[in-house]
Structure 1
Amino acid sequence: MVGGAVAVAGTDTHLSRLIDPNRKWYNNRRLLALNGWIALLLITASTNGYDGSMMNGLQSLPQWTSYFNHPTGSRLGLLNAIQNIGCLAAYPFAPYLSDGIGRRATVFIGALIMCIAVGIQTAAQSVNMFIGARFMIGFGLTFASNAAPMLVSEVSYPTYRAPLTSLYNSLWYSGAIIAAWSTYGTFKIPNTWSWRIPSLLQGLPSILQVCLVWFVPESPRWLVSKGKDQQALNTLAYYHADGNEQDPLVQYEYEEIKAAIELDRAVAANVGWKAFVATPGNRKRLRIIVAIAFFSQWSGNGLVSYYLNKVFDNIGITNPTTQLLINGILQIWNLFWACSASFLVDKAGRRVLFLTSASGILLWWTLQTVCVAIFAERGSAGAAHSVIAFIFLFYAFYDLAFTPLIVSYTVEILPYALRAKGFNIFNFVISCALIFNQYVNPIALDALHWKYYIVYVCWIAFELVFLYFFVVETKNLTLEETAALFDGEHAAKEITHAGVFDMSEDASEKGSHSTYSPQAEFKA
């Protein structure tokens, strides 16, 4: 939509007047098909979630630890961090592929690389082979995860755009659930297949994408940016208005996409990397994006996500079966809260969710720290059980914002010309934060034990203060008003004037249904 921000029906007064209230995803064949293709893109996050949970599970598998010589310290940190090092290696290329060859093609390339890498990981005969495969998984994941959420936001029907984009990161836990229960299920296999089977299952989402992604509609914004205006109009009409190119909603979306992209072309300073620091509005965007990316990984969750077995060891829960069982239940709990929060983004608002989330995780992490300290001093079983309860409560609040909102909010506040690059910055920062966590956490836990938890208490308190002062609420604002929040009234007026066109009531009566077919486009 205007300026490339994510539009949401019910928050944008222009769009809400144009949307047919009777057209729902469950009673419209083409919307049902569109949301099915979007689901194929959403599972990109499952690959990433699968990895963290799988590595947690493998560390509790004696068959895996003995096969790779009981890795500890920096070697264990490398095994966990290498995927994100692979992500870092691909970041210089990802936005150029997404903007150059298209969102679909970039997802395909990323998925294909991951399929090959998963095969190597499953067949690993040495720790170096396992590490190399995980590097390749991260390399491919960067391409897919750069393009997939943008394509979701750019093809979704306006009513479902914000919830679906928020679901992207929430489905991280769907992969985590499969990994957790896969490692639990293969625990008793007395050979290397106990860890090779979970490794092999990591490739399922990528295999589906390689086979089916070419049937997904391409981003209308990308098509317009490449001069394929008619194809963009056909796509919007086919999925958003049952093929009617003259539908008022389709015309509104189409004209605003054109206006925004033409404005970006007219102002060349808005499309390069320097644009992020060139204006106060873009600097504000960059500050928020970098902050929430760091916060999403430095809120104590990195300790539990990758080193849950060490957390359990510190509170006396050392039985591998128990560790794997709790890990599996925790991922189901996380998926429930993250998906529930995804459907609240337009009702509760972004700022409310962020502040509630940060307040909750500060409370429960502090209590968790106290209980870990009590166990360390007294060996209290009650304190150990309390730690487990507080981990679950911590994640319930973490999942209110730091799972669903970090991707959707980032995409929402970026204009089209900067979206691929801005989202790449977001992913780059997350990888840097993860690499630091994955290297430092096992070393710090071994050195400081429960006292390491205090570091996160202080950091989470800082996060809460930052979010209070800097997070901008975008709920119930038109896109022009959202642009004004970051770029000022002058920029908003420029976008508005660029997108002015006739939206008379009889617009829907000017044309007939299009014969566009996504299958025909694929065959062509």
Structure 2
Amino acid sequence: MYQIGNIYGITAIAVIGGGLFGFDISSMSAILPTDQYRCYFNQGPHGPGFDDEVKCSGPTANVQGGITAAMPGGSFIGALLSGYLTDMFGRKTTIQIGSVIWCIGSIISCASQNIAMLIVGRFINGISVGICSAQVPVYVSELAPPSKRGRVVGAQQWAITWGILIMFYISYGCTFLEGPTAWRVPWGLQMIPAVLLFFGLFLLPESPRWLARKDRWEECNAVITLVHGKGDPNAPFVHLEMEEIKQAIEFERQNADVSVTELFKPKMLNRLHIGIFTQIWSQLTGMNVMMYYISYIFGMAGLSGNINLISSSIQYIINVFMTVFALIYIDRWGRRAPLVIGALLMATWMFANAGLMATYGRPAPPGGLDNIAEQSWQITGPASKAVIACTYLFVASYAPTWGPVSWIYPPELFPLRVRGKAVALTTSSNWIFNFALSYFVPPAFVNIQWRVYIIFGCFCTAMAIHTFFVFPETAGKTLEEVEEMFMRGVPAWKTRVEYNSVKKAERGQLDDKEKAIGLQHEQSPERLENAAGDVKA
């Protein structure tokens, strides 16, 4: 069967798995404030119905938190399962399993007759998102050359932003339909990308590193030749890549315990902590809260109806546009700088919103604005426009920094023998915090109101400090070079981007001295500082 060898073509199909998560986020944010949804799942005094004279309040704050949190709850389970599935069946097959599960969940969600059925459907959808979000970055990172790895893995975040934007406008268009059709249609249409993903994966090669672990060396060499050598098995980078993979596999088999318990041993525990906190902090920025409940936030700022939904969509456009900068420059910027700078910028906008809400806002009438209890605080006038502007600036700060880097960074931290399970574990931490925040935020808006912004502002400040002192630079290094960096214990703040030298190596422009270093530096314990320094000199 024909296989795509261009890394960008491979990425374009694989990251559809990320788009599934985006579809879920925006469909929920667009559907939440609609009368069709609130009346069908109404828990107010009048119960379900579509009486125009009755303003339905929808599910209670706690129940709505549970409905929203069902998806990340399922994602937590799916991410954990994916580590075992990917080691057993391969990266491609595991992602295909995830796409089938997504279709099952979507069918149940769009056919929901009550809240319980909706929660079950969203939970099953979550299992799919957990599997795909954990294994798509692993799959793409194992195929990509080092100088493009950040760009192509970061494309997962771009796919998420496109999924958010496309599904939001589909959902918005469906709000003009009558009755439950308004939410059944978008939740049914979200099966389409999963179907495309399932069949598109047949055109892609398997991960060469997974093939090597299974002793399928001819297939491994064929994939590297296809993707990195453009069909030329004698290309310099093909030889370098095969040598590094062979030595890594040999080392693992002679010296390493490949069970999941290795992740908790002293030499691996530090990078596990870094990977887990990369995902935890990405949630504690508050970005997904902004995405899920943006209609609540803009409702507090005085927007309602279609104006609220259209204004909400602007942040999704900003999200798509600003992520492009990361795709272009992330391998030059590295990982550390975007994480630190992005966290500081987001803290600024969170504290600014808290100050504006506290100074110029006031409690909403009993029952909340527009009969939505979560909109329990209101702000009007020029200050409300400043809140909306800060929200947009927050999204613009997240999109080129924590958004893509939180997916790029964890797969780069771990050696091949544990990468599938390790990334599954780190991604599961993302989803368990997503679950907690999805459940926490609606009642938080009711009970502590504008102080929610202070909480997230403090989180952003803490993560800036943590990443500066603890998170090392992995950009421009092969996955095997990253392994040695951790083994040697190089302090995080002394690590640097190795973009130019690895780019030169990939283009086959090494002179004789550099080639010798490239083939021999695996055996040198001084490789990271001396050999790389010689190449640059």
One-letter amino acid of the structure 2 residue matched with residue 369 of structure 1: A
1:390 is the counterpart of 2:390: yes
Measured in 2, the distance between the counterparts of 1:494 and 1:173 equals: 42
Measured in 2, the distance between the counterparts of 1:46 and 1:174 equals: 7
Tell me the equivalent position of 2:261. 274
Q: Is the 8 A contact 1:294 1:429 kept in 2?
A: yes
Query: What is the TM-score when the length of structure 1 is the normalising length?
Result: 0.84
Q: Is the 8 A contact 2:11 2:155 kept in 1?
A: no
Aligned CA RMSD, in angstroms, stands at 2.4
Tell me the equivalent position of 2:137. 149
One-letter amino acid of the structure 2 residue matched with residue 196 of structure 1: R
Tell me the equivalent position of 2:90. 102
Structure 2 CA distance for partners of 1:88 and 1:479, relative to 1, 3 Å: closer
**Residues 18-75 of structure 1: CA deviation (Å, up to 9, x unaligned):** xxxxxxxxxxx98774422321111111110111111111112110111111112211
Measured in 2, the distance between the counterparts of 1:445 and 1:89 equals: 28
Measured in 2, the distance between the counterparts of 1:37 and 1:481 equals: 24
Tell me the equivalent position of 1:248. 236
Tell me the equivalent position of 2:374. none
1:43 is the counterpart of 2:16: yes
Structure 2 CA distance for partners of 1:444 and 1:189, relative to 1, 3 Å: same
One-letter amino acid of the structure 2 residue matched with residue 488 of structure 1: R
One-letter amino acid of the structure 2 residue matched with residue 86 of structure 1: G
Match of 1:497 among 501, 515, 523: 523
Q: Is the 8 A contact 1:263 1:498 kept in 2?
A: no
Measured in 2, the distance between the counterparts of 1:489 and 1:447 equals: 46
Structure 2 CA distance for partners of 1:66 and 1:482, relative to 1, 3 Å: same
Q: Is the 8 A contact 2:357 2:379 kept in 1?
A: no
1:352 is the counterpart of 2:337: yes
Structure 2 CA distance for partners of 1:56 and 1:165, relative to 1, 3 Å: same
Measured in 2, the distance between the counterparts of 1:241 and 1:480 equals: 19
Measured in 1, the distance between the counterparts of 2:23 and 2:296 equals: 19
Matched ranges for 1:419-438 at <5 A:
419-438=419-438
**Equivalent residue of 1:97, what SS?**
helix
Aligned length: 467
- Report the CA distance between 1:261 and its aligned residue: 1.4
Tell me the equivalent position of 1:232. 220
Tell me the equivalent position of 1:13. none
**Equivalent residue of 2:348, what SS?**
helix
**Residues 275-296 of structure 1: CA deviation (Å, up to 9, x unaligned):** 223134x222112112111111
User: Which one has more relative contact order, counting CA pairs under 8 Å at least 6 apart?
Assistant: 1
1:204 is the counterpart of 2:177: no
**Equivalent residue of 1:246, what SS?**
coil
1:111 is the counterpart of 2:99: yes
Q: Is the 8 A contact 1:374 1:380 kept in 2?
A: no
- Report the CA distance between 1:215 and its aligned residue: 1.7
Match of 2:298 among 312, 315, 331: 312
Q: Is the 8 A contact 1:264 1:417 kept in 2?
A: yes
Matched ranges for 1:29-428 at <5 A:
33-69=6-42, 70-269=58-257, 271-280=258-267, 282-317=268-303, 319-377=304-362, 379-428=379-428
- Report the CA distance between 1:306 and its aligned residue: 1.4
Structure 2 CA distance for partners of 1:31 and 1:248, relative to 1, 3 Å: farther
Tell me the equivalent position of 1:513. none
Measured in 1, the distance between the counterparts of 2:449 and 2:109 equals: 32
Q: Is the 8 A contact 1:31 1:240 kept in 2?
A: no
Query: What is the TM-score when the length of structure 2 is the normalising length?
Result: 0.82
Identity over the aligned pairs, expressed in percent?
27
Q: Is the 8 A contact 1:182 1:198 kept in 2?
A: yes
Structure 2 CA distance for partners of 1:462 and 1:77, relative to 1, 3 Å: same
Tell me the equivalent position of 2:458. 458
Measured in 1, the distance between the counterparts of 2:411 and 2:418 equals: 10
Q: Is the 8 A contact 2:150 2:475 kept in 1?
A: no
Tell me the equivalent position of 2:497. none
**Equivalent residue of 1:347, what SS?**
helix
**Equivalent residue of 1:125, what SS?**
coil
Measured in 2, the distance between the counterparts of 1:433 and 1:105 equals: 27
**Residues 141-164 of structure 1: CA deviation (Å, up to 9, x unaligned):** 222222222111122345422210
**Equivalent residue of 2:177, what SS?**
coil
Q: Is the 8 A contact 1:83 1:136 kept in 2?
A: yes
One-letter amino acid of the structure 2 residue matched with residue 483 of structure 1: E
Q: Is the 8 A contact 1:174 1:335 kept in 2?
A: yes
Tell me the equivalent position of 1:522. none
Measured in 1, the distance between the counterparts of 2:524 and 2:113 equals: 60
One-letter amino acid of the structure 2 residue matched with residue 245 of structure 1: P
Structure 2 CA distance for partners of 1:476 and 1:107, relative to 1, 3 Å: closer
**Residues 420-454 of structure 1: CA deviation (Å, up to 9, x unaligned):** 11111111111111111011111111011112222
One-letter amino acid of the structure 2 residue matched with residue 354 of structure 1: L
Measured in 1, the distance between the counterparts of 2:309 and 2:115 equals: 23
Q: Is the 8 A contact 1:263 1:495 kept in 2?
A: no
Unmatched tracts of structure 1, length 5 or more: 1-28, 500-524
Tell me the equivalent position of 2:367. none
Measured in 1, the distance between the counterparts of 2:477 and 2:218 equals: 30
Q: Is the 8 A contact 1:260 1:498 kept in 2?
A: no
Structure 2 CA distance for partners of 1:489 and 1:320, relative to 1, 3 Å: closer
Q: Is the 8 A contact 1:354 1:400 kept in 2?
A: no
Tell me the equivalent position of 1:516. none
One-letter amino acid of the structure 1 residue matched with residue 455 of structure 2: V
- Report the CA distance between 1:246 and its aligned residue: 2.7
- Report the CA distance between 1:480 and its aligned residue: 6.2
Measured in 2, the distance between the counterparts of 1:124 and 1:368 equals: 37
Q: Is the 8 A contact 2:18 2:156 kept in 1?
A: yes
